[in-house]
Amino acid sequence: MRLLLDENFPSDFSALITGHDVQTVHRLGWSGMKNGELLRRAAGLFDVFMTLNRNLEFQQNIKALSFGVIVVRSLSNRMLHLRPMVQTIELAIQGAAPGILVVAEL
């Protein structure tokens, strides 16, 4: 799967997600972009967009997207809290589909 990690993830988090083509908003030079524009740019390029933004589902029309969205609900965006969630996130990636929002939480 081609995954795009939102800018709210630590830069070293992408190394924990294996077996997928993982890109980050920061590496692509898309940091600071509004969510609507970011999601438009991701269309056709990615299979899954992953974010820590819990409000995304209320701000955007997820059903209209050509990729799946995973909202990770963690205590914080620190590796200390994200690392134990990797297995849960991997399961969420497997369940991702276009226009579907999946919540990954412990």
Instruction: Report whether 36 contacts 66 (CB < 8 A).
Output: no
54, 51, 31: which is closest to 92 by C-alpha?
A: 51
Strand partners, 9: none
47, 56, 59, 60: which is closest to 92 by C-alpha?
A: 47
Q: Could you read off the pLDDT tens digit of each residue along the chain, which spans 106 residues?
A: 999 999 999 989 999 999 999 999 999 999 999 999 999 999 999 999 999 999 999 999 999 999 999 999 999 999 999 999 999 999 999 999 999 999 999 8
94, 89, 98: which is closest to 5 by C-alpha?
A: 89
Alpha helical stretches, state H, 1-106: 35-42, 56-59, 79-82, 86-95
